[in-house]
Structure formats: C-alpha cells, structure tokens
Copies of this chain bind each other. A is one copy, B any other.
Amino acid sequence: MVKIMDPYGAELPEDYAKVIKDFGLEEFDVDDFPHPNCLMRRGVVFAGRDLKMISRCIKEKKPFYVLSGIMPTNDKIHFGNKQVVENIRYFQDRGAKAYILVADLEAAAARGVSLEEGRRRALEFHIPAYLALGLDLKKTVFYFQSENRDVVHMAYEFAKKITLNEFKAIYGSADPGRIMSAVTQVGDILYPQLEERMPGIIPVGIDQDPHIRLTRDIVDRTKDRKFFRPSSLYHKYTPSLDGSLKMSKSKPESCIVLPEDVKSAQKKLRRALTGGRETVDVQKKIGGEPEKCMVFEMHKQHLIEDDKELKSIYDKCKSGAIMCGECKDIACNRMEKFMKEFEQGIVKARKQVDRLNFVKFA
C-alpha cells in the first residue's frame, strides 16, 4: 500500500495525485455529477473508479446501488464515517438503492468482537448514528452479515479465486481472520447484484481501496456470474488536528470522535495547528495561511455547509481580517451545534430502528 506522506489540502496535491497514479484511479470530475455535495465541490472527494458508469445511471435514471458497511467494533464513529454517509446520501437522492451492512462477521474474524456484542452496538449506536448523519431511512436496506447467507456463501466461493500471495500483494499482509473478513466484504460489495443486476458505487476512504481492488479482481475471475465491477468514490482523510495526515484515535489529543463531549472537542480545536503567523501583528499585515490550517479544514470538510460563508472566512484569513482566535470561536460554536444535533439525532433515530428495512435471511 502506498503511504501518503503528508497531510492534505490544496497544499499537498502531489500526495493525492500520487495515490491516483499509483492505484490507477480516475480523478473525480465534479462536472459529471449533478448538484455535487460539499465534499465533491470542495475537492475532498478526489478520485474514484468507473465513475462514468455511475454518472450515466444518474443522468439516464437507470438503477444503481450505493453500499457501505458498519464495523461495530466500538461505540464511537469518526469524521470519515460522516463523509461516507454524506456521499451515500448524495447517491440516494439521485436514485441509488442504498445498502448498509453490519459487518458483524468481519468484526468477529478480524477484531474478535462476538456477534452478540456487534449486534448490540450496531442497533444501539451505529445505525442510529448513521441515520442521525442523514442516511435516508426509507431508501436503505440494512442487513447483518451473519444473517445473510448469500454473502457468506459468496465469501466461501470467492476465497478459492485468490492465492495467498495475491492476497498479500493487495493487503500487504495476511492472517486467517483478515482473509475471511476480506472475502466476506467482497460478498457484501456484490450482494446487491444478486437482487438486481446493476452497477454500484462504494464510497470509501482511500485506505479501503484494497477491498475494491480485490472485488474487481474477483469479478474478473467469475465472468459467468456477470457481475458489474464495483465503482468506487474516494474522499480525502479528515486530517489530524496536529496537521498529520489522518485523524486517528492513536493521537487522542488531535482526534475528535463522534460523539464527543463538546468541551473536550472544543479544547482540541483550540489547540489545533493553524495557518497563523508568528505574531498577531504580522498576521494582520500579511494574512494567515488557511491552506495549512486544520481549523479551516474542519470548516471546509465538516462544519460549514454554505460555500459563500466558507469563502468569506478564507478571504478574511488571507487578508488578515480575521485572527485565529475568532476563527476558532466560529469552529467551536459550529462543533457544539453539530454535536448537539448529532446526539439528539441518535436518540431520535434509536426509536426508528425497530422500523428499519432489515433483510432477514432466515
């Protein structure tokens, strides 16, 4: 797997450009997608595979699907999940049938989470959280891997289609749990095509690309099944607040989880790496560097919906009209609003879980 050396943004295009080149991705062309969402408009969504197939489905109103999985390994999600939900919602609103699977078998095989524990977490937290983030309940099919016999059967059949060395070449390493987890994920990605033969798109972080490549390889090796190769859509990472590539729980002081206590989140924002100058005077004179600022990244990726408002903050920073403290105030206020709505949304969504469109494969 190619390592992306540096953080993010307009200032680091060469790293994501390298990913595109090394992985053989297509650059995301925002003009191909009607009414692009914030992440698309702002270059956070940056690449994909077989995107034309999906944009054609949208334009020609042909059936397609969008799929993502919930890994019920703990009771928090992260901003990357929020990005995925926003992209799922985008495709849902443009005609896609959405599938959300709970990867309980994967959580068991790769992380040792019991099926009971995975189920409990998914129903009490992850699914309500996805609904709170905007997933359209009425257009979504949910299932647990452990209850989807078709997915499991495909996993066993597909395991025969790859060698250990091919697996290592794609994933960098291989252990029994990871292998079972991966082939099951291939089953998930292709499962909607058993229900209806149609293209599908999988919105993921770039670190999930190995699953997409494995699935596309397996489609090529099971030609008799006549699967469409899955399309994929990649978003950039939400960077760590200290400026490194990816917000990660391994650096808790630079990582805000969902949900997180508002005061804790605000404290982290206050300490974030900014594009501020050495002194206020200098900054007033020559302006800040929003391209290097993690607070601005949070504005751009997560906190400010309106393009004009975002542009205004950018311009004020560049011109020295707004200092970091004030900009952080804005971020803290937005974060408070977001977390409150998110937590209220979860409480509300929990009541809807009973009414979800769960596929049972009993």
Residues on A facing B (Cβ under 8 Å): 105-106, 108-112, 114-115, 146-147, 149, 152-153, 155-157, 159-160, 162-164, 167, 174-177, 179-180, 183-184, 362
Interface majority SS (helix, strand, loop, mixed), chain A: helix
Interface centre among A115, A147, A152 (most CB of B within 10 A): A152
> Is the beta-carbon distance between A109 and B153 smaller than 8 angstroms?
no
Question: In the complex the two chains form, what is the Cα distance from A299 to B266 in whole Å?
Answer: 84
> Is the beta-carbon distance between A105 and B176 smaller than 8 angstroms?
no
Residues of chain B within 8 A of A179, CB atoms compared: 159, 176, 179-180
Question: In the complex the two chains form, what is the Cα distance from A319 to B173 in whole Å?
Answer: 64
Task: Identify the closest chain B residue to A168 (Cβ).
Answer: B164
Residues of chain B within 8 A of A105, CB atoms compared: 153, 156
CB distance from A158 to the nearest CB of B (A): 8
* With known contacts A146-B149, A149-B146, A152-B152, A167–B176 Cβ distance under 8 A: yes
Question: In the complex the two chains form, what is the Cα distance from A14 to B356 in whole Å?
Answer: 65
Question: In the complex the two chains form, what is the Cα distance from A149 to B162 in whole Å?
Answer: 24
> Is the beta-carbon distance between B153 and A146 smaller than 8 angstroms?
yes
Task: Identify the closest chain B residue to A110 (Cβ).
Answer: B160
* With known contacts A164-B174, A179-B176, A183-B176, A159–B109 Cβ distance under 8 A: yes
CB distance from A39 to the nearest CB of B (A): 33
Residues of chain B within 8 A of A157, CB atoms compared: 108-109, 112, 114-115
Question: In the complex the two chains form, what is the Cα distance from A49 to B156 in whole Å?
Answer: 30
Residues of chain B within 8 A of A149, CB atoms compared: 146-147, 149
> Is the beta-carbon distance between A162 and B176 smaller than 8 angstroms?
yes
Question: In the complex the two chains form, what is the Cα distance from A108 to B160 in whole Å?
Answer: 7
> Is the beta-carbon distance between B176 and A163 smaller than 8 angstroms?
yes
CB distance from A170 to the nearest CB of B (A): 11
> Is the beta-carbon distance between A153 and B111 smaller than 8 angstroms?
no
CB distance from A154 to the nearest CB of B (A): 9
* With known contacts A153-B105, A153-B146, A180-B183, A160–B112 Cβ distance under 8 A: yes
CB distance from A211 to the nearest CB of B (A): 14
Task: Identify the closest chain B residue to A162 (Cβ).
Answer: B176
Question: In the complex the two chains form, what is the Cα distance from A156 to B109 in whole Å?
Answer: 5
Quick one: which of B111, B160, B175 contacts A111, CB cutoff 8 A?
A: B160
